[in-house]
Structure 1
Amino acid sequence: MEIKIDDLSGDQVARLIGEHLQSMELHSPPESIHALNLDKLKKPDITFWSVWEQEELLGCGALKELNAHHGEIKSMRTSSQHLKKGVARKLMEYIIQEAKRRGYRRLSLETGPMEAFAPARKLYESVGFQYCGPFAEYVEDPYSLFMTKEL
């Protein structure tokens, strides 16, 4: 598996982000969807990575800088053909190390409480994220759970 910074210009990445957004629409009302589209992922405060095995896209994830000491995990997604192969874990560990390298003291994320998000929550818990209240611009929402990790 190769993890690399991605400029979000490739068709495979666009399709995976599209799949991610469609999945969010299936499980959350529109006002509770916090997933970012391609244009929003291209903002200068976000670094986006893709995970590849030769020419095949396995997954993706992003890190948004909230401030000099706090980052947010965004757009974690494994391609449906590569679930349960360790793609998300490897990328999550990579992003955690990058956050530490940047000097962040905390990483946070928003996810859903529904059963569809259970595998993601299990992964986040396994790497040390704990449940917390809303952070940054988020507000309490029955369709959102918030997690954070001290680095």
Structure 2
Amino acid sequence: MRIAPDDPLAADVRALLEEHLADMRRISPPESVHALDPELLAAPAVRFLAARDDDGTLLGCGALTSLGGGDAELKSMRTAPAARGRGVAAAVLVELIRHARERGDRRVLLETGTEPFFEAAARLYLRHGFTPCEPFGDYALDPHSRYFALAL
């Protein structure tokens, strides 16, 4: 598996992100869906990474955006269904954290859901040192959202 910057507007990546958005909209009420559209993930301030097999098959993706003041937010973590259970999300997460450290961020923050669908993601973040925190940025208390922070 190789993890590298990629284009969120590429056809295969866009399809994975659209699947991600569809799941978020199916599981959470509209006001609790905070996933970004592929166009927003293509912004210059966003570090967007994709994991691919040696043959180029897309395995997963994730992004990091700066919130200012030394804070970064993790966005759009998604593993392709056929690649689940292979450590893709953990590998992408580690690379995004490495990037945040290199650019001098103090914390990596994230929002995820509270429904059972999001339990595997929450366990992943906890295993990598994230701890629950209060809402940050433009987020507010929401029974469908939980927030995590990792001090770097």
TM over 0.5: yes
SS in 1 for 2:95: helix
Whether 1:137 aligns to 2:138 is: yes
Number of the residue aligned with 2:52: 52
Number of the residue aligned with 2:129: 128
Q: CA deviation at 1:44?
A: 2.4
SS in 1 for 2:15: helix
Question: Residues 98-135 of structure 1: CA distance to partner in whole angstroms, max 9, x if unpaired?
Answer: 11001011000000011000000000000000001100
Superposition TM-score, scaled by structure 2 size: 0.97
SS in 1 for 2:44: coil
Amino acid at match of 1:44: P
Question: Residues 29-57 of structure 1: CA distance to partner in whole angstroms, max 9, x if unpaired?
Answer: 11110000111112222111111002200
Q: For structure 2, which runs of at least 5 residues remain unmatched after alignment? A: none
SS in 2 for 1:84: coil
SS in 2 for 1:97: helix
Counterparts of 1:149 and 1:65, CA distance in 2: 14
Superposition TM-score, scaled by structure 1 size: 0.97
Q: CA deviation at 1:10?
A: 1.5
Counterparts of 2:92 and 2:41, CA distance in 1: 17
Amino acid at match of 2:128: V
SS in 2 for 1:44: coil
Q: CA RMSD in A?
A: 0.8
Poorly superposed stretches of 4+, deviation over 3 Å: none
Q: For structure 1, which runs of at least 5 residues remain unmatched after alignment? A: none
